[in-house]
């Protein structure tokens, strides 16, 4: 299994602990020996304050959905991001998807905006800037029902059953699972 995203998320925390141990060793050779215990956790604490670990960061909480029941016909090994207009979390997913697609040239990302209003897609189009396809859906209620009203949602289209993650379930382990499936399919 590919663990790139998990390692990338853990690396700063590991480095902050190693840095703390190093600082602790430096302080243990000075007259401030009692400070070494505080210094040991200080880099980790500071990093954690600015970059806390959220519940969904390491998650891979998906549910399966029959691919043949999706409202549009899409090729397998494609990641659909279902968004709504004006959603800051949806908008922020674009940068992550650009990074994700840059690492996985086989993966096609497709944005679906749950709105029939053409102007609702403009901000997304501008930010996506041709990196992947985007469209308004003709069936916003169907998509909202499929993703259970949670936006953004990520739908990895597989042969039989697609995998659906809500934003808080699409952590680094989910990204690693998708990358692995591009080498060895889910189903």
The pLDDT-based confidence of 146 (bands split at 50, 70, 90) is very high
The pLDDT-based confidence of 186 (bands split at 50, 70, 90) is low
Q: Where in the chain is the domain with CATH 3.40.30.10?
A: 61-170
The pLDDT-based confidence of 145 (bands split at 50, 70, 90) is very high
pLDDT at 185: 59
pLDDT at 73: 79
176, pLDDT greater than 90: yes
Report pTM.
Answer: 0.84
- The CATH T-level fold of domain 61-170 is Glutaredoxin (3.40.30)
Helix (H) or strand (E) holding 171: none
DSSP letter string, 92-124: HHHHHHHHHHHH-TT-EEEEEES-S-GGGGHHH
Comparing 185 with 18, the larger pLDDT belongs to 18
Q: Which of 155, 45, 15 is closest to 93 using CA atoms?
A: 155
């Amino acid at each position: 299994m590919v663990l790139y995203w998990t390692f990338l998320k853990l690396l700063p925390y590991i480095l902050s602990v190693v840095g703390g141990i190093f600082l602790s060793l430096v302080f243990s050779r000075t007259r401030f020996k009692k400070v070494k215990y505080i210094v040991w956790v200080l880099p980790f604490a500071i990093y954690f304050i600015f970059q806390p670990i959220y519940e969904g960061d390491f998650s891979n909480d998906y549910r399966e959905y029959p691919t043949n029941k999706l409202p549009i016909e899409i090729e397998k090994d494609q990641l659909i991001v279902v968004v709504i207009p004006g959603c800051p979390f949806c908008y922020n997913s674009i940068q992550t998807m650009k990074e994700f697609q840059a690492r996985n040239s086989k993966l096609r990302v497709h944005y679906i905006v749950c709105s029939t209003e053409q102007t609702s897609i403009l901000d997304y189009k501008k930010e996506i800037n041709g990196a992947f396809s985007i469209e308004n859906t003709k069936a916003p209620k169907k998509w909202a029902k499929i993703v259970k009203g949670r936006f953004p949602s990520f739908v990895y289209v597989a042969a039989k059953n697609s995998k659906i993650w809500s934003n808080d379930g699409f952590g680094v382990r989910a990204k690693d699972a998708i990358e692995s499936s591009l080498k060895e399919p889910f189903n």
